[in-house]
Copies of this chain bind each other. A is one copy, B any other.
């Protein structure tokens, strides 16, 4: 009796056992692990079937090295200690004139996901973060150019000093500046220190998100 993939029942059991074992222990099983846990009476049977599995490309083995079994496509990926990465949805474009896409309106699950390095922040910092591709040069004063990908965290308030995406209602413009609430007025300070700040009032300003990172690919 064989299954649909051309493997015997025993081979399939072995294959599944290996996957399970690796998932559980983070290292591959020895032949005798397989033998004992699957109730096979001899190591040679396991070796025999492993050889077949390798010939069929289901696993790959590394010489006489103990536990030198690996499953192609099943790869160890570091996700926690020194560098992990996260995925955030790419929701579209951001330009100077048009408003941001509404994260609520887009099915985040369906959106293209991009991976961002852990250097950009912890899991906590990256919660509710989405990515937008920048079109145009309206944000060069924040060191953001055409084609850059900005990572935004959706929020409607901001602390002083945070870089926010703000919509100026009267001017009908979206801009990206550092936010400072100073008494009655709000100062929007370009990241580029040589440029002048903009002053406005709280009711002329809608914060649409906060910048947590920038990714740029250079040709």
Closest beta carbon of chain B to A36's beta carbon, Å: 13
Q: Which residues of B contact A27 (CB under 8 A)?
A: 27-28, 62, 65, 67-70
Number of copies: 2
Interface residues in A119-177 (C-beta closer than 8 Å to B): 119-121, 140, 143-145, 148-149, 161-163
CB pair B212–A78 under 8 Å, yes or no, is no
CB pair B69–A74 under 8 Å, yes or no, is no
Asked whether A54 is an interface residue with its Cβ less than 8 Å from the other chain, the reply is: no
CB pair A120–B215 under 8 Å, yes or no, is yes
A56 to B62, CA, bound (A): 31
Q: Which residues of B contact A217 (CB under 8 A)?
A: 119-121, 212-213
Closest beta carbon of chain B to A78's beta carbon, Å: 5
Closest beta carbon of chain B to A18's beta carbon, Å: 11
Which of A97-105, A108-116, A179-187, A196-204 interfaces with chain B? A108-116
Q: Which residues of B contact A69 (CB under 8 A)?
A: 27
Asked whether A10 is an interface residue with its Cβ less than 8 Å from the other chain, the reply is: no
A214 to B74, CA, bound (A): 26
A116 to B118, CA, bound (A): 9
Q: Which positions in A face B, CB cutoff 8 Å?
A: 19, 22-23, 25-28, 30, 58, 62, 65-85, 87, 112-121, 140, 143-145, 148-149, 161-163, 191-192, 211-219
